[in-house]
C-alpha cells in the first residue's frame, strides 16, 4: 500500500499532482467536503468529492470515523481555512464506521468521558497532540543523552532486590496462589517460585544504573517502573516511565546542572518541532481558563510557561532555607496548610512544594540538602551529620518532577546507614561491591516521564498523558 502522510502533503506545493491518501473521516459536509485525518499531524486535509462521479451507496458509507483510501489531485484551495485540497478521482472504503454506534462525534467530549474510552481517544485532536508530543519528548531525551556521551542501559523490570525503598512493590510470581508450596514454618516457599526466590516489578533502575556508571561513567535508563501505592491523585500512576541518569565523577552541583540542562533541552525541542500541537493545546487551555474564576486562572499561557522555563535559571535553595520561607509564609501563619510547618525535619507535602514554586518563587525550584531521615539510604551524608546531598526539582503545576542525589560512595558510612535503616547488607553485596572495588564520587536522578509530559502539554491529569493508565482499581486493556 502506497500513500503519502498528510503531514508531508501539507509541505507540498499544489500543482495538480496525483496522490494517494489514507486516513479516517473526521467530517463529511454537504455531501462534498471530507475532512481527512491520518494522525501524522493535527491538521485534516480537505477532500472534495463530486457526488455525480461516485455511487450514492458508496458516499453513504463515508461516515465520521470510517477509514478510507482516496486517489486524487492536489490543488490550491479556493476556500478559506486551508491552502490545499484534494479533488478525488477514486474513493475506497477500507473500514466502515456505524455513525449510530461510534462514541466519538465531531464535538467536544469531556476528558473524563474520553478516559472511559481510552482505546478510541487517540482519534481526538487533543490526544493526537498529546501523544505526538509525548513521542517528541522521548526522542529528545535520547538525543540529549546521546549527544552528551551517555550510554542507554536497560535495567531489569523484574527485580530480585527490594531494597530501593522508593515505594510499595508488585509481586511477580508463577506460583499457584490457590495452593502455594509452603516452608516448614508454613510460609509461602518462594524458593520454589520461577526464579528460585521472591521477585517484584522494579520501582527504579537506579541501583543497577549505579553499577553500570561505575564502569561506563555516564549512563541512563529509560523504562517502566511500578509502584503499588494507593495514591489516587492526578500526579500518580501505578505504572510510569522514568529516566534515570547516573554519572561517575560527579557531585550534587553537576547533578543539578545536568537535570536543568536536560529539561531545558527537551522543552526547546518540543517548541521547535511541535508548534501546531502545542498551539492547539495552548488555545484549548486558554478556552478552559475562561470558564474559571479570575483568581484561579493561570498567569501565563502554556507556550509562555514553556518559554519562561527555558529562559530563566531554576532557583536553587536548601531544604533549610525552604523551611524558613514556609514557616514564615502567610498560609502557614493563617493555618491554611493541611500540614503546618513548625519545625526543621518535616517532610514537604505537595502543598508546600507548590507554594514555593507557584506563589513564592514563581519559577522552577531545585531544593537540596534534605534531612537524612526523610531520604533514602544511598544518599551521600553531608558533613553536618544531619543532612544528605539530595535534590528535588519542583515545577509549577506539577510539584516534584525530579528526585536525585549524590550517592554515598564511602563503604563504611554506607554500611552504617544501611544497618540503621534495617536494609539487609548480606542481600546487597552486589551493590556494596562497587564501594569496595574502585569506588568514586557519583550522582544521578530520576525524572518522571509522565510528569514531564504533563508539564509540557499543560494537561491536568497524569492519566491523560499515558496511553493506558494504570491506577488503583484500573488496568483496562
Residues that bind ligand 4AD (CB under 6 A): 166, 204, 206, 227, 231, 236-237, 240, 242, 244, 400-404, 444-446, 448, 450-451
The binding site for Mg ion (CB under 5 A) comprises 403
Judged by beta carbon distances under 5 to 8 A according to partner kind, the member of ligand 4AD, Mg ion, none in contact with residue 206 is ligand 4AD
In the complex, least distance from residue 462 CB atom to ligand 4AD, rounded to whole angstroms: 6
With contact defined as beta carbons under 8 Å apart, do 457 and 133 qualify? yes
Shortest spacing between CB 355 and Mg ion, in angstroms: 18
**Measured from the CB atom, is 86 or 394 closer to ligand 4AD?**
394
Q: Is 75 or 428 the residue whose CB approaches ligand 4AD more closely?
A: 428
Considering CB distances under 5 to 8 angstroms, the limit depending on partner class, which of ligand 4AD, Mg ion, none binds residue 199? none
CA 127 remoteness from chain centre: 14
Residue among 198, 212, 189 at smallest CA distance from 162: 198
Q: Select from Mg ion, ligand 4AD, none the partner in contact with residue 223, using the beta carbon and a kind-dependent cut-off of 5 to 8 Å.
A: none
Residue at grid coordinates 458509507 = 61
* Choice between 113 and 468, CB closer to ligand 4AD: 468
C-alpha cell, 234: 492526578
Burial (Cβ within 10 Å: 0-12, 13-18, ≥19) of residue 111:
middle
CB of 430 to Mg ion, least distance (A): 24
From the CB of residue 391, how many other CB atoms can be counted at a distance below 10 Å? Answer: 26
Residue 147 to residues 133, 140, 143, 151, 180, Cα–Cα distance (Å)? 21, 10, 6, 10, 50
What CA–CA distance (Å, rounded) separates 31 from 46? 13
Contact, 69 vs 3, CB < 8 A?
yes
Beta bridge partners of 317: 367
Nearer to ligand 4AD, 322 or 402 (CB): 402
H-helix or E-strand spanning residue 445:
strand 442-448
Least distance from Mg ion to the Cβ atom of residue 203, Å: 11
Contacted by 303, from ligand 4AD, Mg ion, none: CB < 5 to 8 Å by type? none
Distance between CA atoms of 291 and 285, rounded to whole angstroms? 10
Provide the minimum distance between the beta carbon of 137 and ligand 4AD in the complex, in angstroms, as a whole number. 13
Residue 70 or residue 356: which is nearer to ligand 4AD going by CB? 356
The listed partner (ligand 4AD, Mg ion, none) that binds 464, CB under 5 to 8 Å by sort, is none
45 or 203, CB closer to Mg ion? Answer: 203
Q: Return the one option of ligand 4AD, Mg ion, none that residue 278 interacts with (CB less than 5 to 8 A, by type).
A: none
Question: What's the closest the beta carbon of residue 317 comes to ligand 4AD, in angstroms?
Answer: 17
Closest contact distance (angstroms) between CB of 74 and ligand 4AD is 44
Is the CB of 23 or the CB of 458 nearer to ligand 4AD? 458
Q: Distance between CA atoms of 256 and 40, rounded to whole angstroms?
A: 36
CB 386 within 8 A of CB 372: yes
The answer to whether 243 and 220 have CB atoms below 8 angstroms apart is yes
Amino acid at each position: 500500500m502506497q500513500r503519502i502522510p498528510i503531514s508531508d502533503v501539507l509541505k507540498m506545493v499544489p500543482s495538480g499532482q496525483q496522490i494517494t491518501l489514507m486516513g479516517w473521516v473526521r467530517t463529511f459536509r454537504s455531501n462534498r467536503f471530507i475532512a481527512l485525518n491520518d494522525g501524522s499531524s493535527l491538521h485534516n486535509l480537505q477532500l472534495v468529492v463530486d457526488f455525480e462521479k461516485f455511487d450514492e451507496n458508496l458516499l453513504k458509507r463515508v461516515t465520521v470515523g470510517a477509514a478510507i483510501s482516496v486517489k486524487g489531485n492536489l490543488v490550491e484551495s479556493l476556500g478559506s481555512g486551508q491552502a490545499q485540497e484534494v479533488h478525488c478521482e477514486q474513493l475506497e472504503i477500507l473500514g466502515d464506521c456505524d455513525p449510530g454506534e461510534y462514541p466519538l462525534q465531531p464535538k467536544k467530549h469531556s476528558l473524563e468521558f474520553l478516559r472511559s474510552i481510552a482505546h478510541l481517544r487517540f482519534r481526538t485532536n487533543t490526544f493526537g497532540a498529546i501523544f505526538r508530543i509525548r513521542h517528541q519528548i522521548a526522542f529528545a531525551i535520547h538525543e540529549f543523552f546521546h549527544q552528551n556521551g551517555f550510554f542507554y542501559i536497560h535495567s531489569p523490570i523484574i527485580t530480585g532486590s527490594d531494597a530501593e525503598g522508593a515505594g510499595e512493590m508488585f509481586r511477580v510470581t508463577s506460583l499457584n496462589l490457590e495452593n502455594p508450596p509452603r516452608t516448614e514454618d508454613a510460609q509461602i516457599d518462594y524458593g520454589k517460585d520461577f526464579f528460585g526466590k521472591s521477585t517484584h516489578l522494579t520501582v527504579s533502575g537506579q541501583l543497577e544504573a549505579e553499577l553500570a556508571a561505575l564502569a561506563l561513567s555516564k549512563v541512563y535508563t529509560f523504562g517502566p517502573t511500578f509502584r503499588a501505592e494507593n495514591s489516587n491523585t492526578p500526579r500518580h500512576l501505578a505504572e510510569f516511565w522514568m529516566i534515570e541518569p547516573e554519572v561517575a565523577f560527579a557531585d550534587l552541583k553537576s547533578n543539578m546542572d545536568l537535570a536543568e540542562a536536560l529539561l531545558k533541552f527537551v522543552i526547546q525541542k518540543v517548541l521547535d518541532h511541535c508548534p501546531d500541537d502545542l498551539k492547539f493545546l495552548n488555545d484549548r487551555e486558554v478556552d478552559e481558563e475562561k470558564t474559571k474564576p479570575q483568581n484561579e486562572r493561570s498567569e501565563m499561557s502554556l507556550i509562555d510557561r514553556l518559554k519562561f522555563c527555558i529562559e530563566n535559571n531554576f532557583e536553587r535553595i536548601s531544604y533549610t532555607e525552604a523551611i524558613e520561607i514556609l514557616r514564615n509564609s502567610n498560609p502557614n501563619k493563617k493555618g491554611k496548610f493541611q500540614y503546618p510547618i513548625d519545625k526543621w525535619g518535616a517532610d514537604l507535602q505537595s502543598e508546600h512544594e507548590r507554594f514555593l514554586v507557584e506563589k513564592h518563587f514563581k519559577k522552577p525550584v531545585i531544593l537540596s540538602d534534605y534531612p537524612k531521615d526523610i531520604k533514602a539510604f544511598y544518599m551521600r551524608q553531608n558533613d553536618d551529620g544531619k543532612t544528605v546531598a539530595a535534590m528535588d526539582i519542583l515545577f509549577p503545576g506539577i510539584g516534584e518532577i525530579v528526585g536525585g542525589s549524590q550517592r554515598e560512595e564511602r563503604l563504611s558510612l554506607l554500611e552504617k546507614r544501611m544497618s540503621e535503616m534495617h536494609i539487609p547488607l548480606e542481600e546487597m553485596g552486589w551493590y556494596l561491591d562497587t564501594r569496595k572495588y574502585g569506588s568514586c564520587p557519583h550522582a544521578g536522578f530520576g525524572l518522571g516521564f509522565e510528569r514531564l509530559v504533563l508539564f509540557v502539554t499543560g494537561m491536568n491529569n497524569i492519566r491523560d498523558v499515558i496511553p493506558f493508565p494504570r491506577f488503583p482499581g484500573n488496568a483496562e486493556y
